[in-house]
Structure 1
């Protein structure tokens, strides 16, 4: 069971750092989703993100301290050059569209393709239909998105950064799944080590996680 941490990074030992990227068209609310999750804030006059920024929040998942490092980038085409560096090391991705703008949903396959071209193949992806508070302006039926998510093997939730609906759940879904995958790989390594002690004596097996899981002490260049 995952439980939310505070909005500032606690001083406890960090067991894992998971990099999660937010992608999708401009103005779908990526920065608002991030602000709601990282600081529990929402701004009505949000400015467009220029380039890339990231924020962190530490949570406890199954008694382990997990630092989520959430990256947010401008959805405008002119910032597309940022891609490969942006995706490097990401273990989770949130693919965001606006339920009131059909075009933002129609672009999701393109964003997904870009993600699969640049990110690790085991990255955990959730499709997010944001602005669920604007039900009267909806142009993307929930069923359409659910069907697409099932076909592509993605998690799916509709959120409202404004009303704080499902934002926490969306991040916890991704982070808990990453945690499960990483720990399952560790378990496999332990079993292999214990089961084949003869030829593996003295060797430490390192099984890669779904992508790069970065130990906290190596993050000094980029910790906030």
Structure 2
């Protein structure tokens, strides 16, 4: 086996309560927590996957969706190689916000960042959905990004989305990825980064990150 693994950063963005934390935990831990406090600042977890028999580590960054934290979130776009724009298919407001999030990603992330849009809560009955697949696909086609529907609750398409992202990242960023010695990064470990609005530093690798834990507010993040 190779001594080193390739590491790629994927950042999840979107309005609060669209299920970003649930998606991260479903992918990294195969777990679903229907009620938890909303993220304040930044949190990330890791998971090792295999592509064509080669190990690859994804650092999956969970960002706060509240307006007051957007200036902090933007700092993490600069080092992102992949971005998932999440919205809740049962809440039109979260879909209407996608253009604003997309504009921020294009402004602050590298020009070659890979962007997917993901409609969460695909498990809901059609009568509860406010955005149709056709409408979401049309938006994504107009902006030249891929669209997926998923469910953090049932795990529908979660692994497939990250596998697809990882496959593209390995092709596009083969010469730009981080390399970490095997076993230095452990799967499913959550590392929270406490930030203030004046923070300007970029995130460090997980092995050197702050493990004190980010504070959570009292809002319930519906997934």
TM-score (norm 2): 0.79
Deviation of the 1:223 alpha carbon: 9.4
Stretches of structure 2 that go unaligned for 5 or more consecutive residues are: 182-203, 212-223
Match of 1:147 among 131, 138, 148: 138
Deviation of the 1:50 alpha carbon: 1.2
Q: 1:66 to 1:115 in 2, by over 3 A?
A: same
More strand by share: 2
Stretches of structure 1 that go unaligned for 5 or more consecutive residues are: 1-10, 184-207
Q: Aligned to 1:171, what secondary structure does the other structure show? A: helix
Aligned length: 187
Q: Aligned to 2:83, what secondary structure does the other structure show? A: strand
Q: Moved runs in structure 1, 4+ residues, more than 3 A?
A: 11-14, 217-220
Query: Which residue of structure 1 lines up, in the alignment, with residue 103 of structure 2?
Result: 113
Query: Which residue of structure 2 lines up, in the alignment, with residue 128 of structure 1?
Result: 118
Q: What is the alpha-carbon distance in structure 2 between the residues aligned to residue 144 and residue 100 of structure 1?
A: 13
Q: Supply the RMSD in Å over aligned alpha carbons.
A: 2.0
Contact 2:117–2:145 under 8 Å retained in 1: yes
Contact 1:83–1:118 under 8 Å retained in 2: no
Deviation of the 1:15 alpha carbon: 2.6
Q: Aligned to 2:55, what secondary structure does the other structure show? A: strand
Structure possessing the higher radius of gyration over alpha carbons = 1
Query: Which residue of structure 2 lines up, in the alignment, with residue 164 of structure 1?
Result: 155
Q: Aligned to 1:116, what secondary structure does the other structure show? A: helix
Deviation of the 1:84 alpha carbon: 3.8
TM-score (norm 1): 0.78
Query: Which residue of structure 1 lines up, in the alignment, with residue 34 of structure 2?
Result: 44
Tell me: higher relative CO, structure 1 or 2? Use CA pairs within 8 A at least 6 residues apart.
Answer: 2
Query: Which residue of structure 2 lines up, in the alignment, with residue 20 of structure 1?
Result: 10
Q: What is the alpha-carbon distance in structure 1 between the residues aligned to residue 73 and residue 38 of structure 2?
A: 18
More helix by share: 1
Does 2:57 align with 1:70?
no
Contact 2:63–2:73 under 8 Å retained in 1: no
Deviation of the 1:63 alpha carbon: 2.4
Q: What is the alpha-carbon distance in structure 1 between the residues aligned to residue 4 and residue 59 of structure 2?
A: 12
Does 2:208 align with 1:221?
yes
